[in-house]
Structure 1
C-alpha cells in the first residue's frame, strides 16, 4: 500500500474520532494520534501485506512511438491522448479482475494473481490483452474522425513465480511484485510490434488449449543466456471468443527507391551510438525494405536516419522494428515496420511516397 493510501486511512480514523468526540477533542487528539499511532499503523499495514511467493501473470502495455509523437503535439493534446489510453487500459484491467501495479511514462503494468490468486488468472490476463488491442483500434477510429493522431500499443505477457507484497519502508511503501517473470514481461513488451500481443512460453503452455497463436520466434533478451521463445497471441476462446485486430503491414502502395539509410540499434529504449549504413530498396507509408550490412533479429528496434532524398534539407529520423531478414553472407535483405506514426519523420515519408506516385 502506498503512502498516500495510508494517509487516507489515517484521515478516516481522525474523521471518526471527530464525529464521536467533537472537533475540539479531535484537534487535541490529532497530534497525539500522529505521534503515537502512525508508526504502529505503518507496521500494521506492512504486516497485513507480507511478502510471499505466488504465481502471477504480468501484463505490460506500452505505446509505440509516443515519445517521438510528443515532439509534434501540443501539450494539451498529448495529455488528452495519454489520459484516454490510461482510462481505457484501467477499465479493461478492472473488468478482467486484474490490478494496476503502476503507470510508467507511456505504459501500464497489470497483475493477475496478486494480491488475490484465482485459477483462471492467466486466461483472464490474455483476454484482457486482446480487448486492449480491440479498444485501441476503436479509439483510433474515433481519433481519426477528430483529426487526431492514432496510437498503437505493444503488449507483453509473462507468467511465473514472483515475490508479492509490500516493499519499502515506514516512509514509503507500495504493494508490487518482483522476480524474473516481471523482468521478462518488460523484455517481451519491448519486442512487440504495434497492435501485437506477445506472450512467454510459460504463458503459452498454461493457456494453449484456449488460445490461437501466430508467429513463434526465438530471441535473445537481456539477462538470459539462452534464447527465449515468444508466441504471438492471435485469439482467445475464454471467457468468450476474442481476436486481436489485424494491423495490416503492407496496406499502402510501395515505391522502388535506391538511397542510403543510416541506422542505430535501440535497446531498452536507449539509442546506441554505433552507426551502420544500408540501402533502401522500396518504401511505403508503414514500412520499407532495405539491404543492411548485418543480420538483425526479429522484433529488434532501430532508429533510421533517411537522407535528404526525401526532399528535405536534413536527415529524417524514423523508428522501426525488424519483421524478418534474409541472406547468407550480406548484404541482408531486411523488412521493417515503422513504429512511429504521425510524427514529423513519418509524415515526410508518406509525403515523399505520395509525391513519387502521384506528384502530390
Structure 2
C-alpha cells in the first residue's frame, strides 16, 4: 500500500511562482489622445445610476472603436475618460497623423451617438479631446503578478492637463502637435494658459479639421466659451443701474467659474440681463484688482436660494485677467 505524503497546509499553494521576465521599459516618442465626458458628475447627480452606467459604456465603446480604426492602443480608462497612445507597443507609419484622425473621428462618433440618444429620449453626452506628442517611458509597470503596460512622462501629464481645458465637442492640440502637423491641420485661434510653475504661457489650439487621406472635420458644437471649474467662494455682488454701482452689497457664493461666466448662489433673484459687479475674494496668490462685471442669464430657485448664471462682460480688465489665471491654475492642478 502506497503511503501518502503529508504537506503543511498551504505549502504548495504559497510556493513562489516562477519569475516572469518583463518587457524592457524603453524611451520612445508617441502621440497621446485623451477623451473625457464633459459634465459627467452633474449628469450622475440628476439621472439614475443604471442609465449613466449604460451611457458610459456606450461612450467608451464608441471611443475605443475609433482608436482601433486608426491603429492606436487603448492605454487605460480613468472614470469617464479614455487614454490612447499611437506609437507603442510598436511604432507605426505616421503615428501623429493617425492620432489626429482618431481625435476628429471621436467627435464625429459623438455626434452620431447623440443623434441616437436623442431619438431614445436619453441625455446627450459631450466629450472634450486633447492630443499631445512627445517622449515617454513605455513598458510594463508593477509587481510581477499584477503588471500593466502603460506610458508615463511629462508628455502624458501635459495631455491630461490639456484635456481639462477642452470644451464640449472640441479637440485641443498642443503647440508641438501643431508644429509637427502644420501642413495637414486646420486650427482656430490659440488659447494661451499660464500653468503654475512655468515662466511662459502654453498655447493650445482647437482643431477644426485634419487631412488624413481625406479631410476629417471636427463637427461644430455650440460649446461654453470657456472651461469651468467648481469652486466654493464667498463673493460680494453689487447691482449696477445707469452705470452706477450700488453701495449695498449682496453676499453670495460662487459655485463654478470660467473665463467668460460663472454660476452663483444668491439670496434673491434678478431679472435677465441685470448687470452685477462681482468682487471676488482676494488671496496672496490671486489679488483680484477691482470688480468683474457680468449680466444675469437666468435665476432659478434652489434650496431656498437662487442659482444664478452670469455672463462676464468686462473682457479686458485686470480683474478679468486675474480671474483667467485663477481658472487656469485650478484646471492645471486637477
Residue aligning to 1:51: 25
C-alpha distance in 1 between matches for 2:121 and 2:263: 27
Where 1:275 maps in the other structure, the secondary structure is strand
Matches within 5 A, 1:30-179: 35=15, 38-40=17-19, 43-44=20-21, 46=22, 49-179=23-153
Structure 1 portions without partners, runs of 5+: 1-30, 251-264, 282-297, 336-360
C-alpha distance in 1 between matches for 2:123 and 2:239: 26
The Cα of 1:304 is off from its aligned counterpart by 1.9
The Cα of 1:80 is off from its aligned counterpart by 0.7
- TM, length-normalised to structure 2: 0.70
Indicate whether 1:326 and 2:305 are aligned: no
> Structure 1 112/328 Cα, relative in aligned 2: closer, same or farther at 3 Å?
same
C-alpha distance in 1 between matches for 2:163 and 2:96: 17
C-alpha distance in 1 between matches for 2:185 and 2:74: 24
- TM, length-normalised to structure 1: 0.65
Where 1:151 maps in the other structure, the secondary structure is coil
Q: Deviations over 1:151-206 (max 9, x none)?
A: 00001111001110111112322111111110000111000100000011111111
CA RMSD of aligned residues (A): 3.2
C-alpha distance in 2 between matches for 1:99 and 1:139: 22
CA contact (8 A) 1:301 1:319 kept: no
Q: Deviations over 1:261-294 (max 9, x none)?
A: xxxx73xxxx44433456799xxxxxxxxxxxxx
Structure 2 portions without partners, runs of 5+: 1-10, 241-256, 270-298, 325-334
Q: Deviations over 1:182-239 (max 9, x none)?
A: 0000111000100000011111111111111112121112553321111111001113
Residue aligning to 2:155: 181
Residue aligning to 2:301: 312
C-alpha distance in 2 between matches for 1:133 and 1:316: 35
C-alpha distance in 1 between matches for 2:217 and 2:312: 21
CA contact (8 A) 2:67 2:73 kept: yes
Residue aligning to 1:275: 234
Where 1:54 maps in the other structure, the secondary structure is strand
Which structure's residues are more often helix, by fraction?
1
The Cα of 1:69 is off from its aligned counterpart by 0.7
Where 1:245 maps in the other structure, the secondary structure is coil
C-alpha distance in 1 between matches for 2:173 and 2:312: 17
C-alpha distance in 1 between matches for 2:143 and 2:309: 40
The worse-fitting range, judged by mean Cα deviation, of 85-94 and 167-176 is 167-176
> Structure 1 313/153 Cα, relative in aligned 2: closer, same or farther at 3 Å?
closer
Q: Deviations over 1:296-352 (max 9, x none)?
A: xx97698622445234153466999x99961335578x99xxxxxxxxxxxxxxxxx
CA contact (8 A) 1:201 1:229 kept: yes
